[in-house]
Amino acid sequence: MTLTTTSSPPVSGGSGAWRSVRAELRRRTSLKVSVAVVAFFALMTVAAPLISALGGWGPEEFDKSAVDPYLGGLPIGPLGGVSAEHWLGVEPVTGRDLFARVVHGAQVSLLIAFAATAIVVVAGVAAGVAAGYFGGRTDTALSRLMDLTMSFPSLIFMIAMMSVARDVDRTLLMILVIGLFGWPGVARVVRGQTLSLKHREYVDAARVGGSGPWRILARDILPGVAGPVIAYTTLMIPGMIATEAALSYLGVGVRPPTPSWGQMIAESVAYYDTDPMYFLVPSVCLFLTVLAFTLLGDALRDILDPRGGRS
């Protein structure tokens, strides 16, 4: 029994772990709500043009009849101009529909977060597996590169980069800049997992049986690190969303009139006392998304990487 257990590949990312995920999903109400919120905003990201079309307004369309020019452009009607025509109200002065702006802002904010996370995970897994499995000079070089990247004041560097690069695609630049500073954390987790896996008996047996390093990495090492990587990926997404919102709030994110939640929150600060709905709508969307991903990531970490969750 002992030999059979120790000579089998890890199942942290296997069917047993996913059965545990489904069992926890049925048991935890908070997890069900988190999955529903994540699915809702993911659908909003994918189908933003179709969803905003339901309200009848585009994100850049002005409705001057919805604001009062004699009151500094404040929305006409209660709750920031909420009506059958404008479901979440309108922006002060411009009269742009908040529902359309929030939906398209979700597309921009979550696209940046998901794409940056994908870069972080791919680069981090590749560097961590290479450092942990090959060791020696490869491990030393990659570990020093991780230390160097993590020592940078990343937020200040991001602000500087976004401020200097004016004539480029801001969305693409934000994805690359955020991804540049995020990979060392994943790489360290994967490196530690790989170091423990490469000395297991089933890996030694594959090596003795003539399997090359790339075959061992693909068949034995990567499945073993999949569970922790999935868990930590889910936990990284809220940080990416918050980073994008912070950069847009500071005025170095996506350029107007392209909407993003951080940009909308920054613009709404001047109206929070006269039109609080303008501030609340994007803020609540940002809060719910970050909270849902955080709860989902915590649950996945507890299930797929229980040792890491307890530490």
pLDDT, tens digit, for every residue of 98-109?
999 999 999 888
| pLDDT tens, residue by residue, 194-247 | 988 888 888 888 888 887 888 888 888 888 888 888 888 888 888 898 888 888
**Separation between Cα atoms, residue 120 and residue 122, nearest integer Å:** 6
Domain map (residue ranges) of the chain? 11-310
**Separation between Cα atoms, residue 50 and residue 44, nearest integer Å:** 9
pLDDT for 17: 61
Q: What percent of the chain has pLDDT over 70?
A: 90
pLDDT for 178: 87
User: Lowest-pLDDT range, 60-64, 250-254, 292-296?
Assistant: 250-254
User: Lowest-pLDDT range, 2-11, 30-39, 166-175, 275-284?
Assistant: 2-11
Confidence of residue 21 (pLDDT cuts 50, 70, 90): low
* Per-residue CA distances from 39 to 22, 34, 234, 289 (Å): 16, 8, 13, 10
Sign of the dihedral defined by the CA atoms of residues 212, 197, 229, 34, in that order: positive
The highest-level CATH class for domain 11-310 is mainly alpha
